Chains A and B, each alone.
Chain A
Amino acid sequence: MQSQTQINSWILWVIIALSLVGFIDSAFLLAKRVSGAPIPCFITSGCDAVSKSPYSVMFGVPLSALGMIFYLMIGFLALLYMDTKNLLVGKLIFVATTLGFLSSAHFIYIQKFKIGAFCIYCILSAVISTALFTLGITIWRRLNKLTV
């Protein structure tokens, strides 16, 4: 039981911080969507072409809303792990971050090849989920070492 505390708490704090940024990012996109205020087009990245495209909705739910739930869940899991040190929770963090990373990779693909434009807030989200994924791997490896 004691050995399970060995995931450095800084990793968990970074995860929590990143998921908070991701949460704000998604919430921002959702709020823009709901309020109808358009996001300007930027020189280097795309614009509303992405966040207003048909690809921005999955099963009738805006992806930004799913993003909010996703980041909320990751933050919740990290905090829960800190609280309970439950091995299963640690593994769930890995599973969730993998899922997030794969989704982000898929969204980048859609932006590049289907829409032909990028959305800066979506890229920020992809960067965050990639960072979360690497931390998820770190956790996974530590947990595996611990359980061997």
Chain B
Amino acid sequence: MDTQKRIIVWVSAILIVAIAAIGAWQMATGSPTTKPSMSGKMSEMVSESDWTKGAKDSKVTLVEYSDFECPACGYFFPIAEEVTTKYKDKISFTYRHFPLIQHKYALDAAYASEAAGKQGKFWEMYKKIFESQGEWSGISNAKEIFEGFAKELGLDMEQFKKDRDSKEARDAVDHDKETGVRAGVNGTPSFYLNGEKIQNPKDAKEFETLIENAIANSNK
């Protein structure tokens, strides 16, 4: 290679590497901002059978497919809490189970939340399970830990255990997961804003932007 060609090759190599690094950075951190991703409509609208809180008969619905043992879901828990509390008069928030097989206790956690829900404490259990995710995930007595939560919530323990082990709880969780699979949910957490899948926001602020846009659009 002559010198000129050499310079061109090496300089372009450095440029390509720099562009690649910047590109990767943007992919990883770039704001999904306002646009819902192109793929994915929810397969089943929010109904009575769902666990929903926030505004009643809201025009704006936020649905999360989540797994209690998934670290990313744990990361999103406080964010989702923050934004859904802030907009609790304007949007509704629905939690749907999407337990992944790689998580040993995700199903137990889901059943425990269903059983607590039977006694009107779904969201309280949901909160406890997520808040303590680091303490029970991967630990063999996770089920007992959930029982401890049920006690703390003042649930009727006998009923709790019965509901937790019931076919009804299994069916409810299976049903949630199945609606997710049909919608093309391929990972957790997956958020649907007004039935459209959104790219996971990076933080609460980005989440708020997405929600505010949805609220603005619904008022049009």
Q: Which residues 59-91 in B have Cβ within 8 Å of A in the complex?
A: 67, 70-73, 75-76
Query: Chain A interface mostly helix, strand, loop or mixed?
Result: helix
Count A-B contacts at CB 8 Å: 98
B181: nearest chain-A partner, CB-CB: A43
- Determine the distance from Cα of A65 to Cα of B187 in the docked complex, in whole angstroms: 25
Given known contacts A47-B187, A75-B17, A83-B1, A24 and B24 CB-to-CB distance under 8 angstroms: yes
B200 at the interface (CB under 8 A from A): yes
B20 at the interface (CB under 8 A from A): yes
A41: nearest chain-B partner, CB-CB: B70
Q: Digit string of A30-54 for contact with B (CB within 8 Å is 1, else 0)?
A: 0110011111111101111100100
- Determine the distance from Cα of A31 to Cα of B16 in the docked complex, in whole angstroms: 18
Given known contacts A47-B70, A116-B102, A38 and B75 CB-to-CB distance under 8 angstroms: yes
- Residue of B9, B28, B187 touching A28 (CB-CB under 8 A): B28
Contacts of B103 in A (CB 8 A): 41
A108 at the interface (CB under 8 A from B): no
- Determine the distance from Cα of A7 to Cα of B169 in the docked complex, in whole angstroms: 63
Q: How far is the CB of B62 from chain A (nearest CB, A)?
A: 16
Contacts of A29 in B (CB 8 A): 28
Contacts of B20 in A (CB 8 A): 20, 23-24, 27
B188 at the interface (CB under 8 A from A): yes
Contacts of B157 in A (CB 8 A): none
- Determine the distance from Cα of A25 to Cα of B25 in the docked complex, in whole angstroms: 10
B16 engages A41 (CB within 8 Å): no
Contacts of B21 in A (CB 8 A): 23-24, 27, 68
A72 at the interface (CB under 8 A from B): yes
Chain B residues at the A interface, C-beta cutoff of 8 Å: 1, 6, 9-10, 13, 16-17, 20-21, 23-25, 27-29, 67, 70-73, 75-76, 100-103, 138, 186-190, 200, 202-203
In the complex, the 6 A-B pairs of residues with the closest C-beta atoms, listed nearest first: A31-B28, A27-B24, A38-B72, A42-B187, A41-B70, A48-B71
